[in-house]
Chains A and B, each alone.
Chain A
Amino acid sequence: GESVGLHLPTLSVQEGDNSIINCAYSNSASDYFIWYKQESGKGPQFIIDIRSNMDKRQGQRVTVLLNKTVKHLSLQIAATQPGDSAVYFCAEEGGNEKLTFGTGTRLTIIP
């Protein structure tokens, strides 16, 4: 039969604006979270991580927020650039090196 592809949420943002990508995770025992960026034809690229004993972590132009109460993770990208266009994945790890990935969000930056 016909295979149904994953429906990737999409987000379009004007260049220079800030973007927020959200992710709900499933395992309340997960204690480590990573955001990845994947460009077409490439492997996922590590952006930023956060441990469960933190609720916010900042990098260069990126901020990750963790809300353990509602099992929610978000990635904020400041002053978006055309090179930020990609699919963004959140991943959770429960301490055994096995990452469980979300379905991903396709971010498109509009020049």
Chain B
Amino acid sequence: KAGVTQTPRYLIKTRGQQVTLSCSPISGHRSVSWYQQTPGQGLQFLFEYFSETQRNKGNFPGRFSGRQFSNSRSEMNVSTLELGDSALYLCASSLVGRGAFFGQGTRLTVV
């Protein structure tokens, strides 16, 4: 069974631009969560989607948004990029209550 797939693996963007990251969960998993990982803040929860609905949201500004499609694939978008948005963005999928499995992440660098 294929794992969680995130694309792209690496991105370089300029301040002020926007970016869209993609995540394909493990087949059968309907919950998709997004996390930001930085050396300064560790792993921080962004949001979680289940059946195309956002169920949980972390403490990030409105520039961070996401969505989930009917096939459970998810995208997250960051608008008006700032230098501090440089991070590893991780997607995790789960069967409800059975643990989250992570993808390899997208390394975003904002210059």
Residues of A within 8 A of B (CB): 3-6, 32, 34, 36, 42-46, 49, 89, 91, 95-101, 103-104
Residues of B within 8 A of A95 (CB): 97
Complex Cα gap A34–B102 (Å)? 12
Complex Cα gap A44–B96 (Å)? 19
Complex Cα gap A49–B99 (Å)? 7
Contact B97 A6 (CB under 8 A): no
Q: Quick one: which of B55, B97, B100 contacts A99, CB cutoff 8 A?
A: B100
Q: A49-B99, A97-B96, A98-B33 are in contact. Are A43 and B42 (CB under 8 A)?
A: no
Assuming A43-B103, A45-B102, A96-B55, what are 13 further A-B pairs, CB within 8 angstroms?
Answer: A34-B99, A42-B105, A43-B6, A44-B90, A44-B102, A46-B101, A97-B55, A97-B97, A98-B45, A98-B48, A99-B33, A101-B42, A103-B42
Q: A43-B102, A43-B103 are in contact. Are A97 and B40 (CB under 8 A)?
A: no
Residues of B within 8 A of A101 (CB): 35, 42-43
Contact B55 A46 (CB under 8 A): no
Residues of A within 8 A of B56 (CB): 96-98
Contact A32 B97 (CB under 8 A): yes
Report the minimum CB–CB distance from A37 to chain B (whole Å). Answer: 11
What are 19 A-B contacts with C-beta separation under 8 Å? A3-B40, A4-B40, A6-B42, A32-B97, A43-B102, A44-B43, A44-B102, A45-B102, A89-B43, A96-B55, A97-B33, A97-B50, A97-B56, A98-B33, A98-B48, A99-B33, A99-B45, A99-B92, A103-B42
Report the minimum CB–CB distance from B36 to chain A (whole Å). Answer: 11
Complex Cα gap A91–B56 (Å)? 16
Query: Quick check: is B65 within 8 A (CB to CB) of the other chain?
Result: no
Complex Cα gap A46–B96 (Å)? 15
Residues of A within 8 A of B45 (CB): 98-100
Interface hits, B58-95 → A, CB 8 Å: 58, 90, 92, 94
